[in-house]
Structure formats: C-alpha cells, structure tokens
Structure 1
C-alpha cells in the first residue's frame, strides 16, 4: 500500500467531505462522480467523532446468504491485513452475493475485532446489523442498509477493487467519511488536495460573512457581483 505522511491525513480530517471534494476540483478539475464521492444510498450508522474519519481503504467482498465458497484467501488473512497495515485504515466491504442486500456483512463481533486491530471506520455496500454493539465497539460505520440477520457467511476476496454506493474504491485509496458520505482522494493528489482545502474554506468563509451582514442591501448584492 502506497502511503503519505500522516500529517496529510490529519489535515484532511480538519475539513468535511464536501470541502475536500471541492478542493479536489480545484486541484485536477471535475471527474466522474463514480470515482469521486458516494451516492445518497449510503447512510451514517455510527458516528464517533465530530471530525471526519480519514484513512486508507482496505477492501473485501462477502456473501451473506448463498454460502458461496471462499477463495484461497481466509477471513483471518483479511483481519491480518488490518493488523499489519500500520496506518489508519477504513475497512470497505461489498456484498457480492447472488441475492444482494438481503443479509448483513458486518456486525458487532467483527467491529470489536476490527477496532482492536487498528481500523478507524467501516464502509459497507450492503447491510450491517448489531448497530448498538458496533457503536459500543467504537467503530464509525457507513452502510447502505440494515437487517437483523444473515445466512451462510463467507469472505470471498480482499485487496481488490470494490464499489460502495456507486463509488469505485481501490485498495489504498484515501477516504474522507462524514455525515454527507464519503469523498475519495487519490494518494498521489492528497497533499495538494489537503493544501487546497484551506483556500476552499477561505472563499466559503468570505461568502458566508458577506451575506450575513445585518445591513445587507441590494447594493451589497451588486457589489458582490462586480467582484466575481
């Protein structure tokens, strides 16, 4: 996994996912939404901090219903990869069952294991269960659904490209996760995006302050237009 100085992640965590997405536009222009940010199906299930969760994607695919046979990868290999990462990781799990979105692919037992091994968040294309237990474990969670159960339960692969709420995620992508959803940041752009966040915040603060003037008049509006 390619990584960058942790100070870049810390800087990104000072901003929300929307600000980071705007900063990305300033760095490299508009890109397809499916490699930029999640869609509206993703819901924040557990929130631990006032700041976003920011970490590297650790990806996997699962079948919670039909009992598909696992690949040579064992589930323990997946958890080993969390423990060996030595960087902040966000586990990213996709339901790839023939009957999708019917069973849960993460619960509180897994959450306790993940937190103990070093995960700082979980992002799920599919269902979660045991939400109060996941909250007690201290694992911030975003998922597209919630159910109480699952059937025969297998991990199929890990460290492969996945898709969550329309967002294509590769292993090692930087993810900025908060109440709006998730913005993806390419590692090779992260330093520039982090720097540009301050410029986005400066411009937005100026706009907010200007339009909050207690004596705002149509003349102020004309003044604003002239400056644009």
Structure 2
C-alpha cells in the first residue's frame, strides 16, 4: 500500500474509530500517541484531517524580544519538500504558552498554497475568520489576538503539542474529537482493524446491550 492510498483510506475514517484500531496493533501503550484535552478543534472541515507533519518551534512570548522572521523561509521550504498532504505542527518555546500565537490568516494562506491541510498549535492562533475560507483544519489551545514576539527558532525537529510528541514526517489524523499520531508500519493490518472495529460497534449498537464496551 502506498502512502497516498493510506491517506485516502484514512480520510474515510473518524478519529475515534481509528484510535481503537491503532490500540489493537499494540505498537504503543494505549495511553500514548494522542493529544490531550487541552487541544481544541477550532476550525473543522467536512473530511477528517490526514497529513504528514512539518514541525516548527516558535517563540512568541519572550518579553523584550524583537520578532525575527529569518527562519520563515526554512518553514516554507520544509512544507514544500514534505510529503503531501501535510500538517504544520507548532510548539511554543517562549515562557508563556497561554499567551502565544503561532498562525494567522497571512501565514495560513501561504501554508494552504503549499498543500497544508491543517495547522496544529500547542499555543494559540488568531484570524479565524480569515483562516476558515482556506479549507484547512485548525487545532490550538485557543485564540489570542496579538502575535507577540513571533520568532521561528527551529524547523523540522521533534516537538510536543498538548502532550503529543510529533516528529517530522509523522502521519497525523484529526477531527472534532482530537488529534492522533498514526503508526505507518502495518497499514494493511491497520485498515483491516478499522473494518473490524466498525463491525463490532455496529453489532453492539444493534443489540442494544447494556454491557459496557471498552471500545466505546
């Protein structure tokens, strides 16, 4: 199975069903591999977000610092060379992530032109009205009105967002329920497990059983 075929198949799966299937691969602990409840879906789209991670570290909250965009071309270059579709994942390195702002409609428009299907911030974003028409998913801890001391400090390194470690090239899947890192080792088996999860849950709903299903 090619990466493109896997991406297309995963666009037809909701994130909770996929998470149940991933657990059954037993490639990681069941408490790992997904973002925690701090991460909010601020801009949903009709089809689940599926894309390969491009990572960036931004300092937007160090007092007295001057914003510095010298590494912005490095981010765009990383997006350009990434497998497509891609998702840009931003970690705040400044001292106050609750005040950080990583993406607005200007940067978002540039990313969308390079086939980014989503942005994920471990801090804040802004310009939701301008981001919505771009057709990208947007995940963040919330919104922040100012961009602070926006400075890219690193591109294409491992980052952490809402408890989820993300490396460049990781395959991510998200919808209104949250964000999941998808193992790429056994794609055929993963899709078979997705089908099995769907069948089992459909039978449980039809049976109307009162028993608690651990795959809820």
TM-score, structure 1 length as denominator?
A: 0.84
8 Å contact from structure 1 (residues 4, 187) kept in 2: no
Q: Does residue 1:96 correspond to 2:93, yes or no?
A: yes
* 1:84 to 1:102, Cα distance in 2 relative to 1, 3 A: same
Q: Pick the aligned partner of 1:143 from 127, 140, 144.
A: 140
Q: Distance in 1 between matches of 2:171 and 2:114?
A: 19
* 1:47 to 1:210, Cα distance in 2 relative to 1, 3 A: same
8 Å contact from structure 2 (residues 97, 122) kept in 1: no
Q: Pick the aligned partner of 2:49 from 49, 53, 61.
A: 53
**SS of 1:136 mapped into structure 2:** helix
* 1:86 to 1:175, Cα distance in 2 relative to 1, 3 A: closer
* 1:4 to 1:70, Cα distance in 2 relative to 1, 3 A: farther
Which ranges of 4 or more aligned residues in structure 1 deviate by more than 6 Å?
68-71
- The alpha-carbon deviation at position 69 of structure 1 amounts to 8.2
Unaligned runs of 5+ in 1: 212-219, 223-228
Q: Pick the aligned partner of 1:160 from 157, 163, 184.
A: 157
**SS of 1:61 mapped into structure 2:** strand
* 1:5 to 1:151, Cα distance in 2 relative to 1, 3 A: closer
CA RMSD of aligned residues (A): 2.5
8 Å contact from structure 1 (residues 70, 157) kept in 2: no
TM-score, structure 2 length as denominator?
A: 0.89
Q: Pick the aligned partner of 2:71 from 70, 74, 81.
A: 74
Q: Deviations over 1:18-65 (max 9, x none)?
A: 1111101111266152x411111111111122x211011111110113
Q: Does residue 1:106 correspond to 2:123, yes or no?
A: no
Q: Does residue 1:197 correspond to 2:189, yes or no?
A: no
Q: Distance in 2 between matches of 1:199 and 1:187?
A: 19
8 Å contact from structure 1 (residues 69, 156) kept in 2: no
The corresponding residue for 1:18 is: 16
Q: Distance in 1 between matches of 2:30 and 2:166?
A: 13
**SS of 2:129 mapped into structure 1:** helix
Equivalent pairs counted in the alignment come to 211
Q: Does residue 1:177 correspond to 2:174, yes or no?
A: yes
Q: Pick the aligned partner of 1:134 from 125, 131, 134.
A: 131
Q: Does residue 1:84 correspond to 2:81, yes or no?
A: yes
Q: Distance in 2 between matches of 1:174 and 1:19?
A: 16
